[in-house]
Amino acid sequence: MAIVDKHIDIDRLVTTVQEICRIPSVLGEEGAYSAYLVDMMRRSGFDAAASQPVLPDRPNATGHIDFGTGGRTVVLTGHIDTKPPSHGWTLTEPYSGELIDGAIYGQGIMDMKAALVCQLIAMEALRASGIELNGRLAFAGVVDHMGDQRGAIEYFAHHDADLAVLGECSGSQVYLGHRGRYYFDITVRGLSAHTCHKPTAINANLLAAHAIIELDASKLEPQLEDWVLELFGPETYMVPGRVYGGLPPGGPSMIPDECVIRVDCRPQPGVTIEQVRAEIDRCLDGARERDPRFQAEVVLADVKDGYLVKRDDEVAATMIRALAAVRGHESPVSVGNWLGDTSSVGHQVPTIIFGPGSERAYAANEHLTVDEIVEAARAYAMFAALSMSPDPTRDTL
Parse the chain into domains and list their residue ranges. 2-178+306-388, 181-304
Mind listing the pLDDT tens digit for each residue in 122-180?
999 999 999 999 999 999 999 999 999 999 999 999 999 999 999 999 999 999 999 99
Rounded CA-CA distance 392/76 in Å is 19
Mind listing the pLDDT tens digit for each residue in 317-371?
999 999 999 999 999 999 998 999 999 999 999 999 999 998 778 899 999 999 9
Same fold, 2-178+306-388 and 181-304: no
Residue 312 has pLDDT above 90, yes or no: yes
- pLDDT confidence of residue 204: 96
pTM: 0.92
CATH architecture of the domain formed by 2-178+306-388: 3-Layer(aba) Sandwich (3.40)
- Is the Cβ–Cβ distance between 105 and 29 less than 8 Å? no
Rounded CA-CA distance 119/72 in Å is 18
Output the average pLDDT for the chain. 95
- pLDDT confidence of residue 224: 96
DSSP characters for 13-78? HHHHHHHHHTS--BTT--HHHHHHHHHHHHHHT-EEEEEEEEETTEEEEEEEEEESSS-EEEEEEE
DSSP lists the bridge partners of residue 71 as none
| CATH code linked to domain 181-304 | 3.30.70.360
Residue 396 has pLDDT above 60, yes or no: no
Rounded CA-CA distance 137/388 in Å is 8
DSSP characters for 87-140? S---SS-TT---EETTEEE-TTIIIIIHHHHHHHHHHHHHHHH-----EEEEEE
